[in-house]
Chain A
Amino acid sequence: MTWRRWKDKASGGLFALLTAVAVLIVVLIGGGLWWKARPITRTHSIGQLLFSSTWNPFDGRFGFWGYIAGSLTVTGLAIVIALPVSVLAAVYLSEFAPVRLRKWLLPFIDLLSGIPPIIYGVWGVLTVVPVAGYTALSGGVVLAVMIFPLLISILLDVFRTVPEGLKDASLSLGANDWETVRKVLLAKSKSGILAATILAVSRALGETIAVLMVCGNVATPPHSLLDPVYPLPALIANNYGDMLSIPLYDSALMLAALVLFGIIFVFNAISRLVLHRLERRNY
C-alpha cells in the first residue's frame, strides 16, 4: 500500500516537473534570443533597425526593412492566393462532397501537409521558377501551396462547430445551398476563418528553406511581384554561423529571430484562444 502511494507521489512530482520543463522551453527561447539580441539594441535604435533598408554589416549598419518588406510581400501574396482557394475547397469538403470523395481527399491533404519544406523548394525550383523566375511571385506561390493543408484542416474544424440546425433552418426558409453557406456557415465562422488566416500568416512568415530556394535573395524592398526578395528567415539561414567575426552581426541575426519569434508567438496565442472559444461555444 505505501509503496503504491509512494510511486503515485513520485511519478506525480516527476511528471509535473517535466511538464514545467516543456512549458519553460518557450521562456528559454524567448529569453535566450533577447539576451543575444540586446547588444545591438544598445547601439542602434529600434526604429532605425526595423525601418532603415541600409544593410551593410561591415560598416555596422543593420537596417532590416528590405528583409521585413520581403517577408511581408511573400506572406501577403501567399495568403491572397491560398485563402480563397482553401475556403472554397473546405466548404466543398464539409458541405458538398460525396462521402466517398471526402474519404479519399482528406488523407490526400494530410499527405500534402507531411511533405517536407525542402521538397516544396525543389518543386518550386523545377516548376515555378522557370515560369516566374527567382522572384517574390515564386516565393508566394510555393508558400501558398505549403499553407493549403494547414488552412483546410483548421477551416474544416471551424465549420464543424456550426450547428446543423442553423443550416437546416436557412434551407427550410427557401435559401439555396450556396446562400446557406454564405449567410450561415461563413457568417458563423468569421472569427474562426480569421484565426486560421493568422495561423497561416505565421506559418508563412517563418517558412525558411523552401522560400529561400525560389525568391532570389536580394535585400531591397521590392517594387513589383517580379522583383527578387530576401525574407527574414532566409537572412538568418544564409548567414548565421558563418559571419560571427563581424561585430554585432550575430546579435543582428538574433534580433531577426527574436522579431519572428515575437510576432509568431502573439499571432499563435491569439488565434488559438479564438479557436478554443469556438470549440466550446454552444447554442
Chain B
Amino acid sequence: MPATYHTRKRRLEARVFRVLMLASVLVIAASLGAILWSIVSKGIRSLNWEMITQVPGGGFYIGKGGGILNAILGSLYISLGSVVLGLGISVPAVLYLNAYSRQKTWFAGLARLVFDVLFGIPSIVYGAFGFTVMVVLGLKTSLLAGIVTVTLMIVPILARAMDEVVRLAPPELSDATYSLGATRWETAQVLLRQSLPGILTAILLAFGRAIGDAATVLFTAGYTDSVPTSLNQPAATLPLAIFFQLSSPMAAVQNRAYAAAIILTVIVLAISLTGKFLQQWLSRHRI
C-alpha cells in the first residue's frame, strides 16, 4: 500500500525535527568550542612564565613588565577562605536537615526553599549588600570583606549540592545506626562519611563559582598590585584583572587580559574535571 499524503507529512515532520534537534545540540557544543577557541587563540601569545610568577611591575598597565600573581593569589585566598567559611555553615545545616530534623517538618521545607531561592539571587545583589554592610560597619575594601561576601553567595550552592547527596543516602543506613543505639550526632557522622564523594564535588563546584565571580568582589575586595599579607588589605582577583586590563585602550594590555582569561579558564576547567574524576574514583567501591 503506498504511503498516503498524511503519512508522508507525519514522517517529514518527524525528520525535520530530528534535524533541528541535532542542529541544536551542535549549536550548544559549538558555542563551548568557540568560547575556548577564541580565548586560547587570542591569549596564547601573551601567556608566559612572567604572567603567573610576578606581580605587576612599574608601568604594567601601559604594557611594561610584570604579571598577575597578585590576582591569582588574591582569587585563591578569597575562594579558599569562603569555601572554608561556607562549609562551617552549610555542613551543619545539611546535617541538621537530614539527621536531626524529621524530613518533612515545615522548617526543613522552608530551609530548602530558601537555599533554592538564594541560589538564584545574582551575585551583583550579594556584592551590593556586602558593600552596604561594609559602609555601615565602616570597613574598607579588604580580603576579609571579599571572603565574607563570597561566602554569602556560596553557602546556598554548598548546601543544595550537599543536601542532594546526603538525602540520597539509603534510609536503612540511619535505621541501622539508630537500632545500634547511636545518637543523632553519631548518625550524622556516618551520613557524612557515606556522602563524602558528593561533598567533595560540592566543594569543587563552590570553589569554581567563587574563583570566577566578578560582581561579588567588585566593591568588596578592592584591587591592588601587591599580594595581600593580612585580612585587612585589599586583594586583586582574576576576573577583575581580566576586566580592568580589557578596558585599557592599549593592545599590549588587552592581550594580557586574554592571557589572564586563559589562566582563569584553565583553573576552572581543572577544578571541574578534578571534581568529576574524584567523584568516580571515590565511589568506585559503591554498589
Contact = CB atoms under 8 A, between A and B. Distances in A.
A107 interface: yes
A25 B124 CA distance: 15
Contacts of A96: 18, 21
A236 interface: yes
B265 A115 contact: yes
Contacts of A176: 10-11, 14
A22 B121 contact: no
A25 B272 contact: no
B183 interface: yes
A237 B123 CA distance: 11
B117 interface: yes
B199 to A, nearest CB: 16
A208 interface: yes
**Interface SS majority for chain B:** helix
Contacts of B213: 116-117
A208 B39 contact: no
Interface in A9-28: 11-12, 14-16, 18-19, 21-23, 25-26, 28
Contacts of B10: 176, 179
Contacts of A11: 184-185, 188
Contacts of A5: 183
> Range of interface residues on chain B?
35 or more
B77 interface: no
B246 interface: yes
Candidate in A33, A109, A114, A120 with the most chain B CB atoms within 10 angstroms: A114
Contacts of A105: 25, 29
A7 B186 CA distance: 9
Given A85-B27, A108-B29, A122 B246 contact: yes
Candidate in A97, A178, A202, A213 with the most chain B CB atoms within 10 angstroms: A178
Contacts of A108: 29, 32
A265 B21 CA distance: 33
B11 A209 contact: no
A88 B131 contact: no
A224 to B, nearest CB: 24
A76 B118 CA distance: 23
A16 B39 contact: no
Interface of B: 10-11, 13-14, 17-18, 20-25, 27-29, 31-32, 34-35, 38-39, 42, 88-90, 92-93, 95-97, 100-101, 107, 110-111, 113-129, 131-133, 135, 152, 155-156, 159, 183-186, 188, 205, 208, 211-215, 218-219, 239, 242-243, 246, 257-258, 261, 264-265, 268-269, 271-272, 276
Interface of A: 4-5, 7-8, 11-12, 14-16, 18-19, 21-23, 25-26, 28-29, 32-33, 36, 84-86, 88-89, 91-93, 96-97, 105, 107-112, 114-123, 125-127, 145, 148, 152, 176-179, 181, 199, 202-203, 205-209, 213, 233, 236-237, 240-241, 244, 253-254, 257, 260-261, 264-265, 267-269, 272-273
9 contacts: A4-B185, A8-B185, A12-B185, A26-B118, A86-B28, A114-B268, A117-B212, A126-B39, A203-B122
